[in-house]
Every structure is written in C-alpha cells, then in structure tokens.
Amino acid sequence: MSAPAPTPPHPSGDVVIRTIAMPADANANGDIFGGWLISQMDLGGAILARGTAHGRVTTAAVDGMSFIRPVNVGDVVTCYAKLLGVGRTSMKVRVEAWVQRYADSAQLHVTEGTFVYVAIDTHGKPQPVNR
Ligand SMILES: CC(C)(COP(=O)(O)OP(=O)(O)OC[C@H]1O[C@@H](n2cnc3c(N)ncnc32)[C@H](O)[C@@H]1OP(=O)(O)O)[C@@H](O)C(=O)NCCC(=O)NCCS
C-alpha cells in the first residue's frame, strides 16, 4: 500500500463548488462514493468552462483522477478549478477537491483530476470557444 501523494500546501484555482457530503452519498463503509465526488468536480469544472466559453459545454474526457484520501459524511467539500488551456473548441480544466472535517479547520486535499470540456451549440455540435 503506497503512502498518500504529497499534499500541496494550498488549493490551486477558483472556488467553483462548496457543499456538504451527505449520508445518501456514502457507500456501505460510510465513505463517500468516488462517483459522487467526480460529479461534483465535473460540475465545478463545467462552471469554469461555461464562463470561459460564454455558452454551453459538455465533458469530453477526464484524465489523471487521483483519490488521495477518503471523504467522510459531514465533510465540507470544496472544489477548485483552474483553466490549463484553451484549444479551438476545447478547454482543459484542472479540478482539485479539498475537505474540512468536523471539528477541524484544516483543509485536506482529497482528489484531483483534469477535465476536458468542449463548447457546443444548441445541437450539441462543437463550436469555437467564444472568449
Ligand atoms: C465531446 C463531443 C461534443 C466532441 O464531438 P466531436 O465531434 O468528437 O468533436 P471533435 O472531434 O471536433 O473534437 C472537438 C474538440 O474536442 C477535443 N476532444 C474530443 N474528444 C476528446 C478526448 N477524448 N480527449 C480530449 N479532447 C477531446 C478535440 O481535440 C477537439 O478540440 P479542439 O477543437 O480544441 O482542437 C462529442 O464527442 C460528444 O458529444 N460526446 C459526449 C459528451 C457527453 O455526453 N458528456 C457527458 C458525459 S456523461
């Protein structure tokens, strides 16, 4: 079993989502489902991409997703997003999730990944990013 990846001292990027992990999002062990966390990160990254494209976006790919620490029921989960690059129709966004546990003011880095969003028109077809 390998040790957790080194934690960056501070979150990187803008706050895009802040929520509380609820019991309905937990698995039988009492930990939060990875899929729930990915969906929060995807939503957060999409908020940044939508603001960048000034229009609709869709998720094209998710790369390098690392689950570093578990998320517990009751944790305050904050997602931070940072624009890494813009192509013709696509945008690459780095998303980090950090948590604050009960009775602890420290933020812990729990997850990170890189999401690719594509700007789309009303028919769902790629269109140039309109910055
Ligand atoms: C994303 C989607 C619109 C791309 O459509 P497409 O016809 O394949 O478009 P293109 O091949 O012209 O690619 C468009 C851009 O996306 C990028 N792209 C497409 N697939 C990609 C992938 N898997 N990884 C990284 N970039 C990707 C291309 O490089 C291109 O970028 P650029 O214009 O900046 O150079 C289409 O595949 C789609 O609708 N996918 C489903 C999206 C979805 O439902 N998401 C929610 C998942 S539940």
Distance from the alpha carbon of residue 118 to the mean position of ligand 1, in angstroms:
6
Check pocket membership of 124 for ligand 1, CB cut-off 6 A. Answer: yes
Task: Quote the tokens at residue 54.
Answer: 């000034």
Residue 2 lies in a domain: no
Q: Whose CA is nearest to atom 45 of ligand 1?
A: 59
pTM above 0.85, yes or no: yes
Task: Quote the tokens at residue 107.
Answer: 């933020």
Closest to 60 measured CA to CA, from 123, 120, 17 = 120
On whether the CB atoms of residues 93 and 115 are closer than 8 A, the answer is yes
Output the pLDDT for position 7.
Answer: 64
- Domain containing residue 69: CATH number: 3.10.129.10
The SS3 assignment for 42 reads helix
Check pocket membership of 58 for ligand 1, CB cut-off 6 A. Answer: yes
Residue 3 lies in a domain: no
Q: What is the pLDDT along the chain (131 residues), one digit of tens a residue?
A: 455 556 678 999 999 999 999 999 998 888 999 999 999 999 999 999 999 999 999 999 999 999 999 999 999 999 999 999 999 999 999 999 999 998 888 999 999 999 999 999 999 999 999 87
Residue 28 lies in a domain: yes
- Number of structural domains (the chain) is 1
The SS3 assignment for 8 reads coil
User: Which structural domain range is residue 87 located in?
Assistant: 14-119
Residue 68 lies in a domain: yes
- CA angle centred on 71, ends 67 and 74, rounded to 5°: 165
Check pocket membership of 35 for ligand 1, CB cut-off 6 A. Answer: no
